[in-house]
Chain A
Amino acid sequence: MSEAAFQPGARVQVRNDWPERRGPCHIRTPHYLRGRDGTVQRVLGSFANPEDLAFARPAPPRPLYHVLFDQPPIWHEGAAGDSLLVEIFEHWLEPAASPVQEAA
């Protein structure tokens, strides 16, 4: 199992990247989270990268995280305090620019 770069509580940002615009790909990072800040809730383990598996390429295991996001800032609607919890692979995450949580 590869070493996890982020620990529970770490503020992270989902990369604002759109590989689907560059050609055929298989992505498990929902579009609505690209560029969004969240908090690592838990390291789920390491799993073969589905982006490689889908094309029968060698797929080394990569750390997978459960990342928690405030829901209202994402959709500009919803109830304060509601949240989204999503599995995100490490190569889609970078440290958040702002260490403080966005206001809901």
Chain B
Amino acid sequence: MSAPARPESLALLERLVAALKAKGLVSEEELAARQASTDRASPEIGARMVARAWLDPDWRRLMLRNGAAAAEQMGVSMAGAPPLGILEDTPSLHHLVVCTLCSCYPRAVLGYPPHWYKSFEYRARAVRDPRGVMAEWGTVLPPGTQVRVVDSTADYRWMVLPLRPAGTEGWTEDQLTAIVTRDALVGVALPQVPVAIAAE
């Protein structure tokens, strides 16, 4: 059995990298460093930022004023990354993030976007019927909560700072981080207190 054909895209990538190196625009070390930081990025970073904001008012203020500076303090390299904006939910206002034009996503603090975020269905429906889309995640907002859909169309990337759920009083940063899911940071879901804990 012969080896599978080498994809043409790989050869193209190699030629591009060689051309960029020849022009002195990138080095092997920079590529490796970027690859490593891309691989490290995961929703846990965003979740920890939120947990810290629930515990520390100074951190919360920093994060709302300059999301990228807050991410840097978490050890994330924001060099070359778009500015990060944080959308603060309140009891009367819930944010939902979508990119109707493509799939802009705060990768530096959430990692790769999930497949549904890039789907035509999510992109078309979130902006038109956000409550219907959220209901399919089982997310029904308390009466009196307005929905604000943030269409990420240009140079910022947006992450939601959800409300801290009741029943988490006295929790540590690690405990709080664990209930902030990727979906809650996009706004399709709300942080949930596990039933077993809530029943205690």
Task: Give chain A's interface residues, CB within 8 Å of chain B.
Answer: 28-30, 32, 44-45, 47, 50, 64, 68, 71, 75, 77-79, 81-89
Contacts and interface: CB of A to CB of B under 8 A. Distances in A.
B150 A85 contact: yes
Interface stretch (B24-32, B54-62, B152-160): B152-160
A44 B66 CA distance: 11
The size bracket of the interface on B is: 20 to 34
B149 A44 contact: no
Contact of A28 (B101, B148, B150): B101
B147 A82 contact: yes
Contacts of A32: 100, 127
B129 A30 contact: no
A85 B83 CA distance: 17
Contact of A84 (B83, B85, B129, B151): B151
A20 to B, nearest CB: 12
B168 interface: no
Contacts of A85: 148-151
